[in-house]
Amino acid sequence: MPRSATGLPFDDFRALLGSMPGPDAAAVAAIRARDAELTKPAGSLGRMEELAEWLGAWQGRAQPAVLRPLVAIFAGNHGVAARGVSAYPASVTQQMVENFAAGGAAINQICIAHDLGLKVFDLALDVPTGDITIEPALDEPGCAATMAFGMEATADGIDLLILGEMGIGNTTVAAALAAGLFGGKGADWVGPGTGLDAEGVAHKAAIVDQALALNEGSLADPLEALRRLGGRELAAIVGAILAARMSRIPVIVDGYVATAAAAVLYRLDPSALDHCQFGHLSAEPAHAKLLKLMGKRPLLDLGMRLGEGTGAALAAGLVKAAALIHTGMATFAQAHVAGPAAT
């Protein structure tokens, strides 16, 4: 576990990036061989077949299984929320954390529907991060400490990690971070978030432009971009994705905000997200652009724009089904079903 309070903390994370495990080739070969024997036309399960292979490749097992899936929601507050960038007040972050605990949020019902565990990680909600238009969101030790905290999401023997967030104002920091990582202006990366009108979106773009101007020349390092333009829940997601890779736990990333956090790792090493699926395409307009830049194809497209891990948790149902299909179906020989006709 990286120690954040000593030395140059980001270097601990950079070192981990140099020792990431790759996919398990033997598991992939075994899964492909078995898939060819299952009672269905070859290739007929499309991306479900790819999901079984992906799960086994990253779990490092020929029999992929999802027995302990966990939805981790990281919650943080943002100084920039005071700049009128959200349709809702910052107090909603804490109130929604209480709603998650009481079982009243959308994510709670999806977790019931798909039998997923849920943990909410509340990240110093009473201390918002710096307003990114006037100062960095976090200092380096604070950012690294939050990344390390995010790594805790991989504890307890989980075998699938589903990542979501809660934080009023965080589609603004996601837009700023995406611009910092991939270039462009505020207008290229902002959208309505919780429901801004056109005027609100234009104001949000101007706020992102202010943040980009303040940090000009300091964003070449993706971890610097994260601490300057991101926020605690985004930093924790970065840590969680990296820790999951080290522990061979496949990850499903949620919508625009979680994807912007994941993009930090992509910019450090494009292969760092190979153990991740992107659960859905958010209706937040820049999500499609961000995914395309990283060559990622989301699993679902339901017009959702909620966050909380909801899109990723819905996709977890597909991943669970993919594992059961692969391991539980009969082979042609077992079921006495004729294989393909000889041509």
Ligand X SMILES: Cc1cc2ncn([C@H]3O[C@H](COP(=O)(O)O)[C@@H](O)[C@H]3O)c2cc1C
Ligand Y SMILES: O=C(O)c1cccnc1
Which residues are at the interface with ligand X (CB under 6 A)? 86-88, 92, 96, 165-172, 193-194, 306-308
Binding site partner of 284, from ligand Y, ligand X, none, Cβ cut-off 5-8 A by kind:
ligand Y
Q: Which of residues 56, 239, 279, 307 is near ligand Y by CB under 6 A?
A: 307
When the beta carbons of 142 and 309 are compared against ligand X, the nearer one is 309
In the region spanning residues 133 to 192, those forming contacts with ligand Y, defined by CB under 6 A, are 171
R_g of the chain computed on alpha carbons: 20
When the beta carbons of 145 and 236 are compared against ligand Y, the nearer one is 236
Nearest Cα neighbor of 326 from 23, 24, 50, 22 is 50
Strands (DSSP E) along 248-316, which ranges? 251-253, 276-278
Strands (DSSP E) along the chain, which ranges? 69-75, 117-122, 160-166, 251-253, 276-278
Give percent helix, percent strand, percent coil of the chain, each to the nearest 5: 55, 10, 40
**SS3 category, 119:** strand
Contacts of 14 (CB under 8 A, 6+ apart): 223, 268
Q: DSSP secondary-structure letter at 334?
A: H
Of 49, 224, 233, 308, the catalytic one is 308
Is residue 308 annotated as part of the catalytic site, yes or no?
yes
| Min CB(16)–ligand Y separation in Å | 25
| Min CB(313)–ligand X separation in Å | 12
The token pair that represents 234 in the structure block: 């985004």
Does the protein bind ligand Y through residue 284 (CB under 6 A)?
A: yes
In which element (H, E) is residue 222 found?
Answer: helix 222-229
**Number of residues written out for the chain:** 343
Chain residue at closest Cβ approach to ligand Y:
255
When the beta carbons of 9 and 231 are compared against ligand X, the nearer one is 231
User: Is residue 208 within 8 Å of 186, Cβ to Cβ?
Assistant: yes
When the beta carbons of 55 and 166 are compared against ligand X, the nearer one is 166
Does the protein bind ligand Y through residue 255 (CB under 6 A)?
A: yes
When the beta carbons of 9 and 128 are compared against ligand Y, the nearer one is 128
| Min CB(120)–ligand X separation in Å | 12
| Min CB(285)–ligand X separation in Å | 13
| Min CB(249)–ligand X separation in Å | 23
Which residue is associated with the tokens 């909603």?
Answer: 92
Binding site partner of 96, from ligand X, ligand Y, none, Cβ cut-off 5-8 A by kind:
ligand X
Strand partners, 129: 78
Residues labelled as active-site residues: 308
* Residue ranges in contact with ligand Y by CB under 6 A: 171, 193-194, 254-258, 282, 284, 287, 305, 307
